[in-house]
Amino acid sequence: MKKPLTALQLWEFLTSLHEEGHDLENIKVLYRHDRDSDDVLVCAAEEDLYDMKTNSKLETIMLLTNPEQL
């Protein structure tokens, strides 16, 4: 069963890259469905879904390739 990547795991990965001396300002974010598929440039990140009960707890973030399109 696939486990979703959490925001904390992503943060820890980016932090480790930064601590290794990589300049995060100059690293693009790409998305691939799998290792054999074409890459897609990620252009934005946004808050996505909140919990159904209180609508106050952020549960997902969304990476977007075309943030201008509704």
pLDDT computed for residue 36 by the predictor: 96
pLDDT tens-place string over residues 34-61: 999 999 999 999 999 999 999 999 999 9
Report whether 59 contacts 51 (CB < 8 A): yes
Distance CA 61, CA 1 (A): 21
Token pair for 26: 């100059």
**Whole-model pTM?**
0.83
Q: Which helix (H) or strand (E) holds 46?
A: strand 44-47
Q: How many Cα atoms are found within 13 Å in the side-chain-facing hemisphere of 4?
A: 7
> What's residue 11's pLDDT?
98
**CA separation for the pair 70, 68 (Å, rounded):** 6
**Residue 18 host element (H or E):** helix 7-19
